[in-house]
Amino acid sequence: MHETSVVSRAIPALKQPIHVTSPLLPDIQNLHVRLREVWEKKWVTNNGEQHRQLEEALKNYLEIDEISLFNNGTLALVLGIKTLELTGEVITTPFTFPATVQALDWNGLTPIFCDIEKDSWNIDAYKIESLITDKTSAILAVHVFGNPCNVVKIQEIAEKYHLKVIYDGAHAFGTKINNKPISRYGDMTMLSFHATKLFNTIEGGALIFNDPALIEKVNSLKNFGLVSPEEVKFSGLNAKMNEIQASVGLEVLKIIDEERTKRDHIRRTYENELDEVPGIRIVTMHHKESSSYQYFVIEINENEFGRSRDWVHEEFKNYNVFTRRYFTPLCSDFAWYSHLSSAHKKNLPQAYKTVSETLSMPFYGGLEKEDVIRICEILKSFYSKVVQ
């Protein structure tokens, strides 16, 4: 195969670098007001007033009954899994951020990798059942890029085999399915409030359980296992969110809806500009109020586009545009999983295809429409007809 055209770079590079994401930061004067309150009270951690306010605000915004806040999403997932008292094996996806399977490692659990769907890139629910053994205790699925998993099929399997269902919802803040909050599915959902996320507390995370009885236990686990000043009931960690993080979160929550509206306009621009470009498929499914608007991700089919994903990723840098190859490498490629048959390439054909084709594009409310159009023009200029 050879290419019939080359990139001329007739389009000038952008003057300022454009990154794949940018933190949503609140008005600093409003934040100063909250921080002054924290300073005056001298209560900077351990379930202070800002922390309690954020819990209530998130319950209302996410339409949930209970939530437990953490200093980061990884520890939230680690302790959430410990709360469920899982054993043996957990069926999960190889196409996710390392933290997902690392949480299993820290709980002494073995991941069993299941291939992913072609369209959504989520775990393929129809391939889960064949991986279940007498050692399986749970399914850990990820709402990849905010696209909801096949929650109905996953729940059907879980009930049939008496398995717990955990959702890594790091990308799914505010996502709904049929007007129902996504966290109402499964036994537990983890949310990430990292600076790269739509809603952030700089670093942070949360757990949502559908069994309210578990909240008390996880609140103890994130506070060293303490149930009173003199009683340690569990082997826990220090994973509490502090008042500074909570203060940021309260102010960020005020501007979330405005940010979602801005991202919706950016999404429309991308879709209009990239419509019918050979070899380019938009993966993220944005459905107005039902979407998390976390990322805008495309799939690049080298045979149709004439350029590989890696080539596009590197060439964009010459134009001051910085994209992200989520999720490279696959978690199943980690050396410590090489002995697992489920990690072998032959068992994960779609995941291996997808990991070489996915590209996360710049996507945040601060992007100007003209810059998005320029980015799309640059991408379209990379297109090269291919002769077999």
Measured CA angle at 342 (ends 339, 347), to 5 deg = 125
Q: Please tell me whether residues 327 and 365 are part of one structural domain.
A: yes
Residue among 252, 215, 294 nearest 54 (CA):
252
Residue among 221, 68, 94, 88 nearest 164 (CA):
88
Q: Based on the structure, what is the number of domains in the chain? A: 2
pTM: 0.95
Residue 50 maps to which CATH number? 3.40.640.10
Tens digits of residue pLDDT in 265-278: 999 999 999 999 99
pLDDT above 90 (res 36): yes
Q: Please tell me whether residues 163 and 201 are part of one structural domain.
A: yes
The predicted pLDDT at position 171 comes to 96
The predicted pLDDT at position 97 comes to 97
The predicted pLDDT at position 290 comes to 77
Task: Give the model's confidence band at 3: pLDDT under 50 very low, under 70 low, under 90 confident, else very high.
Answer: very low
Out of 200, 232, 254, a domain closes at 254
Does residue 174 contact residue 61 with C-beta atoms inside 8 Å? yes
Q: Please tell me whether residues 20 and 72 are part of one structural domain.
A: no
Residue 121 falls in which region: left (phi positive, over 0), alpha (psi -120 to 50) or beta: left
The predicted pLDDT at position 289 comes to 57
Tens digits of residue pLDDT in 61-98: 999 999 999 999 999 999 999 999 999 999 999 999 99
Out of 202, 235, 254, a domain closes at 254
Structural domain of 46: 28-254
Which H helix or E strand runs over 140? strand 136-142
The predicted pLDDT at position 178 comes to 84
Does residue 139 contact residue 157 with C-beta atoms inside 8 Å? yes
The predicted pLDDT at position 175 comes to 93
Task: Give the model's confidence band at 291: pLDDT under 50 very low, under 70 low, under 90 confident, else very high.
Answer: confident
Q: Please tell me whether residues 372 and 276 are part of one structural domain.
A: yes
Residues 245-249, mean pLDDT to the nearest whole number: 98
Q: Tokens 């990308």, residue?
A: 171
Residue 14 maps to which CATH number? 3.90.1150.10
Out of 254, 272, 294, a domain closes at 254
Q: What is 142-200 written as a DSSP string?
A: E-GGGPPP-HHHHHHHHHHHT-EEEEE-TT-TT-EETTEEGGGSSSEEEEE--TTSSS-
The predicted pLDDT at position 2 comes to 39
Question: What percent of the chain has a predicted confidence (pLDDT) above 70?
Answer: 96
Q: Please tell me whether residues 209 and 60 are part of one structural domain.
A: yes
Q: Is 82 among the catalytic positions?
A: no
Of 197, 217, 222, 240, which one is the catalytic site residue?
197
Q: Please tell me whether residues 247 and 369 are part of one structural domain.
A: no
Reduced to 3 DSSP states, what percent helix, strand and coil does the chain have, rounded to the nearest 5? 40, 15, 40
Q: Please tell me whether residues 336 and 355 are part of one structural domain.
A: yes
**Identity of the residue numbered 205:** G
Tens digits of residue pLDDT in 334-360: 999 999 999 999 999 999 999 999 999
pLDDT above 90 (res 385): no
Question: What percent of the chain has a predicted confidence (pLDDT) above 90?
Answer: 93
